[in-house]
Amino acid sequence: MKPLTVGMSLRRSFDVTANDTAAAIGNVGVEVVSTMALVRLVEQACYEVIASHYEPGNATVGTRVALDHVGAAHPGRPVEIMATVTKVDRRRLTFAVEVEQDGRAIMTGEHGRAVVRLDAFLKSAEAKDTPVEHGPEVEFWYDFHSPWCYFASHRIGNILRAHGGTVRWRPVHLPNLMQLIDGRRPMDGIPAFVDWFRQDIADHAELHGLPLDRHKGYPLRPSRALRAALYADDRGAAEPFVKTVMQAYWSQQADISDIAALQDLGERAGLDRRGIADATGNEAYKATITANVEEAARRGVFGLPAMFLDGKLFWGNDRLDLLDRWLERRDELQSGLTKVE
């Protein structure tokens, strides 16, 4: 990319029609512009802010949407979007966004984008069952039990795709791991720490634009969901299944220990209901989860999420930025990635 500066901005008017309403995508009777339609326009506006700075072979992809939908926009009247570059961190860009209609606030917040090599990114996106040749592969160790895995599961795929790489999804039974290594259990801490810990979870959910309303019976047993995740991985659907189950458990109060609930979630990820049900009791999958726990302990995993790349351990959702920087250095060594000055 040509040099970008904080403060670059664009104000753009967009027409919205009945095809952009919530009713048009199945929310019967809600004849106002849908959230997703507005997000699409926000992405276009942010792209246009920096459009003149692209160089051959470069593109940007969305990495984060943290927008509050605060008012109703009506079809037939234009919406105004103001997008401003507020941060340039190497190849990571942050935009402040304001959406208005008739002078009323409709949406406000931030949008993140990353500069990528288009050829490598498209090659990664087209890959099905095998990693991109010479692209980095990150092992992502996770359990549905952890809110930090919930947040990280919605970020890790985009980070790797931006570098032309792939994720190897490694499910682990976190309580069993903690028992095996006599690990730390945050919810068993002193009351002041537990109060702060819960606040920290809520703050990070807001930071990443993810809803948070966990199941009232938390913690539920994760074993069936972990086995179903192995079934999903065998069919090339690990990422959509894991993200769907994570969001359902942590924001929709889904019972992930219930087979029927897992079948419903599997269907959303394009998986067969019978296959999900069979997977929950599959002895081979049970053995794999046990083996994963033992391998994680042997390799020094002491909490989740845990990521391995080049023999280096990155621990925690808040270390994904460090993983991203490590990937950037790999890219620069291979002389492939355009820097943002």
Domain residues of the chain, as ranges? 9-119, 127-330
pLDDT in tens, 189-227: 778 887 877 788 888 888 888 888 888 888 899 999 999
β pairing state of 92-101 and 312-315: unpaired
pLDDT under 50 in the chain at which residues?
128-133, 335-338, 341
Give the per-residue pLDDT at 124. Answer: 59
User: 127-330, what's its fold?
Assistant: Glutaredoxin (3.40.30)
Give the per-residue pLDDT at 335. Answer: 39
Give the per-residue pLDDT at 41. Answer: 96
- Between the CA atoms of 106, 112, 117 and 118, what dihedral angle is there, to the nearest 10 degrees? -20
pTM greater than 0.85 (yes/no): no
Sign of the Cα torsion 231, 234, 237, 243 reads: positive
Are domains 9-119 and 127-330 of this chain identical in fold?
no
Neighbouring C-alpha atoms within 13 Å toward the C-beta of 223? 12
Give the per-residue pLDDT at 127. Answer: 54
pLDDT in tens, 88-116: 877 789 999 999 999 999 999 999 998 88
Locate tokens 């037939």: which residue?
76
| CATH architecture of residue range(s) 9-119 | Roll (3.10)
